[in-house]
Amino acid sequence: MTILVTGGAGYIGSHTCVKLLEEGYDIIVVDNLVNSNEKAVGRIQELIGKIFPFYRLDVCDVDALRKVFQNHQIDCVIHFAGLKAVGESVSKPLEYYSNNLISTITLCKVMKEYGVTCFIFSSSATVYKPGSSMPVNETAELGCTNPYGWTKYMCEQILRDVALTNPDWSVVLLRYFNPIGAHESGQIGEDPTGIPNNLVPYITQTALGKLEKLYVFGNDYDTKDGTGVRDYIHVQDLAQGHVDAVNFASKTTGCEEINLGTGIGYSVLDIVSTFEKVNGVKVPYEISPRRPGDIGTVYADATKASRLLKWKAEKDLEDMCRDSWRWQKQNPNGYNT
Ligand code: NAD
Ligand code: UD1
């Protein structure tokens, strides 16, 4: 079975490519490298000892995409390609709406032309309306607070409509919680440009001494220690969830929204103390004001993934902290080390 992976040079895509290859799938990767490095593609090939086709192209470019479908018999598409920085989406809404929506629509059109009917989409827990009761399940009310979130919300709706009018299609909308960690080899991992926005890359760069200290955004939330609680999930578990979603989608039709999380919430201070303990390093931090737009607690009800995909997260917080640190230590400047 051949899977087209868009955004396969990126953080989650690269880990999923490794898992797919390990499980015997053939893959084709397309990525315009707007937020990634071609070296990631080389590392995947080295890790698995297998060469696969890589096309540097923009998924919004219909002619370039058509050529890929002409050159290969594709059975299923996993669509990771997209812009994902929440803050940037507020300052550049048009870039986010056009990139994330047009890439998804273009992909659907070309898939239709070539009779490909299996689509796995990278959605996010950010589609849930703030204030939902936790753990949040797939039937909770939706609503977003920033353009990035709305692009995921809108792509979900587009894909639901496509599945509805094309009864032979199978679409899985995977709503990720907070992916962290890296491949156990330390060869692939998250490589953010500039100063990281997300907690764990900020922690790893602080532990390395590239950043002076972590700013903990608020300690007055209604949580066990006052700091924000999230459902952190190992990127390797997330990658496995995609393989399981491909298996599921290739045997079914219709459209399903599925949370991929552990179902466990950890606070910012839990992450800091576990990271320090398992890695034997110090993470200096200071409590600072809340980050605008943040909410206190988010964690998943992951029972639907277990029921439909037979998937469950296997790795714990210690694994996530250990693997994030190994990647950072081995690659202090990411893929440009
Ligand atoms: P990433 O930025 O590392 O990977 C996305 C990849 O898509 C990058 O390699 C980028 O170069 C590529 N890309 C972007 N627009 C493209 C286009 N028009 N054509 C071709 N390639 C393009 O991000 P990630 O963390 O691996 O996330 C993958 C997907 O999962 C994204 O859609 C993201 O929104 C979604 N997601 C991520 C998280 C997270 O915390 N990392 C959480 C929920 C959802
Ligand atoms: C972020 C995105 C969200 C995306 C999710 C998945 C924002 C506002 N939201 O969510 O859309 O779906 O990632 O990865 O970016 N924190 C600190 N100090 C820091 C960084 C973070 O204290 O320097 C805290 C935050 O307040 C939060 C927790 O750490 O409580 C996690 O933050 P982060 O990694 O940015 O993820 P989310 O905000 O959950």
Mean pLDDT by 10 residues, the chain (337 residues): 98 98 98 98 98 98 98 98 96 98 98 98 97 96 97 98 98 98 98 94 98 98 98 98 98 98 98 98 98 94 98 98 98 94
Contact 233, 313 (CB under 8 A): yes
User: How far does the chain reach from its first CA to its final CA, in angstroms?
Assistant: 35
CB atoms within 10 A of CB 189: 27
Phi, psi (deg, nearest 5) at residue 43: -65, -40
Task: Give the CATH number for residue 100.
Answer: 3.40.50.720
Ligand 1 lined by 31 (C-beta under 6 Å): yes
Tell me what pLDDT residue 337 has: 83
Beta-sheet strand order (sheet of 254-260): 54-56, 26-31, 2-6, 76-79, 118-124, 170-176, 254-260
C-alpha 280 to ligand 1 mean position (Å) = 32
Tell me what pLDDT residue 4 has: 99
Whether residue 292 has a cis bond before it, omega within 30° of 0: no
Report residue 157 as tokens: 């709706």
* 219 inside domain: no
Tell me what pLDDT residue 293 has: 86
Query: Which residues form the catalytic set?
Result: 148
Q: How many CA atoms lie within 13 A of 110 on its CB side?
A: 24
Q: Which atom of ligand 1 is nearest to the CA of 99?
A: 18
How many domains is the chain built from? 1
Ligand 2 lined by 202 (C-beta under 6 Å): yes
For ligand 2, mutation pick of 86, 129, 199 (most atoms within 8 Å of CB): 199
Q: Which domain holds residue 12?
A: 2-182+232-263+298-314
* 90 inside domain: yes
Tell me what pLDDT residue 317 has: 98
Ligand 1 lined by 84 (C-beta under 6 Å): yes
* 212 inside domain: no
C-alpha 33 to ligand 2 mean position (Å) = 23
* 279 inside domain: no
* 152 inside domain: yes
* 158 inside domain: yes
Contact 191, 335 (CB under 8 A): yes
The answer to whether the predicted template modeling score (pTM) of the entire model surpasses 0.85 is yes
C-alpha 268 to ligand 2 mean position (Å) = 10
Look at residue 80 and give its three-state secondary structure.
coil
Tell me what pLDDT residue 209 has: 96
* 197 inside domain: no
